[in-house]
Chain A
Amino acid sequence: MIMMMPTYQKGPFEPNSRRAGFHNSAQRAIFHYHAPRAITFNCARRAIFLLACALLSRFAVAFAETPETAETIVKKLEANQVYDTSRLSARLTVTNRFGVSESSFSAYARKGGDALIVITEGPDRGQKVLRQGENLYLYYPEAEDVIWLKGSALKDSLMGSDFSYEDITDDGSILGRYTVTLDGTESFDGASCYRVTLMAKSRKEPYAREDLLIDGALFVIRKATLYSAAGKAIRELTARDVRSVAARNVPFTTVMRDLLKKDSSTEMTIERMEIDIPLPEKYFNREELSW
């Protein structure tokens, strides 16, 4: 449940302008603090006071309508990251001990968990990945068969990245699949976040446990630590560069680190994204993967 490919719309969102306002106040205060000849001791105190107010107001804004339970937080998260349809173009930068490699892909998704990934640049250009529920179909330009993967094959790496097929094509729904608990709040990368733990209800889920930091203002996942059934942290995801797309907050840069490999990470940068647009049926048809 990494929520890369959201699929339906519901609920409110927090505009980015609030955060921008907060940063301006803080920056003003810091500016005054660094100009000692122009201000008196009272001015310095005022600056500290303003800084404290700014910090308090930040939390106040974030938690003005604090959801009281994990369920309400996750519902808001789902409302933000699940769409009817979406289309995006993204770039994958894979970094490991052997070097850096880049590739690009386009992804199409629709409500119900159908998703199509078309690799548009890089050595694997022309390959396609279609997910239909629990089934995954791989199209290779030089293969006469469309490869059907199921079960553990969904955990295989996409284009040698730290993302699995399942990570990229997950529909982002949570409540039906996980038991959620709220463990408190925490600041991460300058954003105040809810600390939420997800425990998989079924062994079929890609991760048995997920520790999430959900942005309290934007309702996007800022950080996720993903655990295996044995309780070992196996992957870590961080997200930044949150932008508004069709009234949704979308992290445009996501970094996945494989904790079982040394110096291995993949940065996925969304270059273009559209939400709730009409998509041709053939995009999700296994028979037409060779279009």
Chain B
Amino acid sequence: MKTVSLAWRNARRNWPRTALSASAAFASTLIVCLIMSMESGYIDDMIANIKNHRTGDVRVMNRAYLENERVMPLQFFIDDTERALSTLARNDFVAYAVPRTPFVVSIYQKGERIPCRAIGVDFRTDPITSAKNDVLTQGAYPASGSAEILVTAGLAKELSLSVGGKLTILSRTATGGTNGKTFTVSGVVAMSDMDFSGRVFFLDWRTAGDFLRMGPNALAVNAFLKKGTDEESAITAIRNALDASAGTKGDAAFDVRAWHDVSETFAFLKISRVLFAIYGAIFYLLASTVIVNTTMMAVLERRREIGTLAALGMGKRGILALFVAESGIIAAIGIVLGLCAGGLIVGAVHRAGFDIEAIYGTDLGGMGISRVIYPSLAPPQYAYILGMGLMIACLACLVPARIATRVEPADAMRDR
């Protein structure tokens, strides 16, 4: 405690220099806060998009489909999808489950065939178009069982579609043939997920099943788990319940996977987290050079004082602790101020949103991120930034502090 108060007094002795060093830590902290909040915003957004638009918390598919996924074998749908849905609805771990049928079509227009994605969904329960910035700009959602489709704003713009417009689509079917059908546009939705900014439309899952000759069945069922549910336990329970319901126990007819085991993006997210932690450390190392420089100057200026302290009985450990504490105090001032400023900026940007479409355009489709990102930092991340900054600053100051411990009292007195 005595060492800390002595270090604090020393830090105050040359305020301008302390402020300069602290400003380096402040700037680094601010940058790290902004970078990490953006990274958190991206990752949270990607996870939400993966779950809401692709997999749910847990995705159920026909195992045979996945074994032959390369050829998109539509005949391997989830047989008796209604039963699978009701089985999942009864499951203690599941909040709700929705059917999904993603497939590829050609839109036939003026003699041309335009490739497009189609997704069969249950509009009453599916969260696919319920993200913060998803807006139904025209019309309404398709009625259940109707030959209506909900087109994305990008598709509507490209093909000059509006409510009441017609679209003839072609697709391979589950029986190996092809089918063509004309659908009416019931509404236009502007999706926040840039993967859905282009050629995509939605239709009722039963209509999709009928069109694809699958009957009232879907290719996948996405389950959304209750909050706080243990994922592994839920997956096991869901698999067992489905197998028991379908009488396929032991045959493993269903492929039941957590969202992060389905999405290839998740591997990128994990790498991304490590990379951003490394970036943060690099910024602190740069800031530490200023603190190291300040500490080194202090050591050189206070040789006589260090010698006196040593002559009065302060050991090498005490001198080392004194300079490390002084550096730590300077770093802590900068980091805490940086965290406060960063928190304020992140909070403001979080409320307003960061419009990456305005900056990068729509070329980020395929990455599963939204047009507007909401940067955020959770309390553990603030603690992480503070801890990392202090640790790097203190470790970096060990070098000048060790130099201080080598000052001999007699030499210091003679000012050598």
Contact = CB atoms under 8 A, between A and B. Distances in A.
Interface stretch (B155-163, B167-175, B327-335): B167-175
B175 A124 contact: yes
Contacts of B177: 103, 122-124, 127, 159-160
A124 B179 CA distance: 7
Interface residues of B, number: 22
A89 interface: no
Given A98-B73, A123-B213, A144-B168, A159 B176 contact: yes
A245 interface: no
B204 to A, nearest CB: 15
Contacts of A122: 175, 177
B222 to A, nearest CB: 25
A56 interface: no
A140 B175 contact: no
Nearest to B76: A98
Interface residues of A, number: 24
Contacts of B113: 153
A157 to B, nearest CB: 8
A199 B78 CA distance: 47
Contacts of A103: 177
Given A123-B213, A147-B108, A147-B168, A142 B181 contact: yes
A100 to B, nearest CB: 10
B168 A94 contact: no
Contacts of B76: 98
B350 to A, nearest CB: 48
A138 B168 CA distance: 12
A166 to B, nearest CB: 15
Nearest to A103: B177
Interface in A123-161: 123-124, 127, 138, 140, 142-145, 147-148, 153, 156-157, 159-161
Given A101-B176, A122-B175, A124-B175, A143 B213 contact: no
B293 interface: no
A153 B108 CA distance: 13
A161 to B, nearest CB: 8
Contact of A147 (B73, B166, B175, B180): B180
Given A143-B181, A144-B182, A123 B168 contact: no
A162 to B, nearest CB: 10
A145 B168 contact: yes
Interface of A: 94, 96, 98-99, 101, 103, 122-124, 127, 138, 140, 142-145, 147-148, 153, 156-157, 159-161
The 4 residue pairs across chains A and B that have the minimum distance between CB atoms: A160-B176, A140-B180, A143-B180, A123-B175
24 contacts: A96-B176, A98-B73, A98-B75, A98-B76, A98-B176, A101-B176, A122-B177, A124-B173, A124-B175, A124-B179, A138-B170, A140-B170, A140-B180, A142-B181, A143-B108, A145-B182, A147-B168, A153-B113, A156-B178, A159-B176, A159-B177, A159-B178, A160-B172, A160-B173
